[in-house]
Copies of this chain bind each other. A is one copy, B any other.
Amino acid sequence: MAAVIFRSSLSFAARKSLAPNVSVLQRRASSFSALKVSQDRLWDHIHSTCEMSGATADGGLRRLSCDDNDKKVRDWFASEVKKLGCKYEVDAMGCQWAILPGENNKLPPIGIGSHLDSVQSGGKFDGPLGVLTGLEVAKVLKESGKKTYAPICVINWTNEEGARFPPACMASAVWAGEFDINAAHKCTDTADKKTTIGDELKRIGYAGKKECSYKVSPLSAHFEIHIEQGPRLENEGKDVGIVDSVQGMHWFNAGLRGFTRHADTTPMELRRDALAGAAKIVLEIQRLGRETGGMATVSLFKSQPQNFCNIPSAVDFSFSMQHPDKATLDGMKQQVASFVKKVAADDGLEIAEYDNIWSYDPNTFDKEAVACLEASAKDLGYNYKKLISHTAHDSLYTNMHVPTAMVFTPCRDGISHNPLEYASPENCSVGAQTLLGAVLRYDDLLRKKHSG
């Protein structure tokens, strides 16, 4: 696989240093908290969409990007937002855009987005909570008759997981101008190298004509709610998390080649065993994650040949490393690269592949958007925590062009990407309510800015 390197440029926040306008935020606090999301409706949507499109016997969700389940849930989402009178569009990456008009429709909408796709053996919350909260906010606004100043846009970003078609956050990266759409359309199914996401978007009827670009579909801001996927909020007994940054990441695909021959008869000193070499690298990557206080994982791992009596000659694997500090993260990258070279030299292996597939630097969310979330949580009386996101979400890419921030809900035992993934109805609605309050606050800031 050729290297497809995403590298995020400076975050929006770093480029446009907007100080939070706290006085404005606090002055009208009570009215921002008057509208209430429906905990029951949100919970029902999370479960009913799962049932209709991808529920698995073990209580999880399997809804791979552009598969038949993804089509089903997309069709349902389109029907729901059309019923609300939203302006509905699909872009060339299959992203669904549902715009509820505001008073000033010349302004780009405030986006509330996330994804409806899952990993192969995922849970009900990672992704759907975000899009369905956007839908819930739109429903509450519509039902209340309250008209926002800017339009509100609910977005279903295509292929956030990248589980079927790597890399992840594909459509938001295209929207941000960080990934060429033609290259994106050619990305292939991990289980079937002949199928591209471009083909599958056409097959399910979601290859829209509108360009997928922040220039064509601009936003005034982007808010996203997601389960935390880690144990910090739960461990500290917090109601909700306000995400103000994202740690950096390097993702590599690597391949080692040795030589296969008889396993029983080849003297140890003559071996070029790719599996034994790869095993050293797996442990070195684990060690680096532990010793730096970051994270590091070898995930995909395939060894060949699969024969009882042959020495393994080919191992292909993927690994990723995360750290909040750029210098430390880049140090990890260099240490792994040196270690892989040393193992190859020591063990007589060739490095057939060593590709940096995806990287992003540690990133800071927009201060004003974060402040809106914080004011909302405070006003609602929630016990909140500001925290860093350990992984990328579509918000990483929206943050390159528009003020962005995220809400995290606690999730049981910090588990995600697993059928056991769970956030309580209360956790979900507390997060949604926090997001709604922040959207109304941000909208109010826009009103002041543009109508004042």
Contact = CB atoms under 8 A, between A and B. Distances in A.
B265 A295 contact: yes
A290 B299 CA distance: 29
A303 interface: yes
A259 B306 contact: no
Contacts of A307: 119-121, 163, 299-300, 417
A286 B119 CA distance: 35
Indicate how many identical chains form the complex.
2
Contacts of A4: none
B262 A416 contact: yes
A331 interface: no
Contact of A279 (B121, B283, B306, B390): B283
A278 B276 CA distance: 11
Nearest to A418: B261
Given A264-B320, A297-B263, A161 B279 contact: no
Nearest to A232: B267
A166 interface: yes
A266 interface: yes
A416 B119 contact: no
A171 B270 CA distance: 31
Contacts of A266: 229-230, 295, 414
A161 to B, nearest CB: 7
A263 B312 CA distance: 26
A35 interface: no
A84 interface: no
For A162, A282, A415, which residue has the most chain B Cβ atoms within 10 angstroms?
A282
B308 A264 contact: no
A119 B299 contact: no
Contact of A299 (B278, B301, B309): B309
Interface residues of A, number: 67
Given A230-B266, A275-B298, A283-B276, A418 B309 contact: no
A308 B302 CA distance: 12
A380 interface: no
A206 to B, nearest CB: 23
A140 to B, nearest CB: 30
A283 B284 CA distance: 13
Contact of A264 (B167, B263, B280, B295): B295
Contacts of A416: 261-262, 265
B264 A249 contact: yes
A264 B322 contact: yes
A391 B311 CA distance: 14
Given A268-B290, A280-B283, A262 B190 contact: no
Contact of A390 (B264, B295, B391, B415): B264
Interface in A232-290: 249, 251, 259-270, 273, 275-276, 278-280, 282-283, 286, 289-290
A231 interface: yes
Contacts of A269: 290
Instruction: Give 4 closest A-B pairs by Cβ, nearest first.
Output: A264-B391, A279-B279, A229-B265, A279-B282
Given A167-B308, A261-B418, A276-B283, 11 more contacts: A229-B262, A262-B391, A263-B297, A263-B320, A264-B391, A265-B390, A265-B416, A268-B295, A283-B283, A300-B307, A301-B312
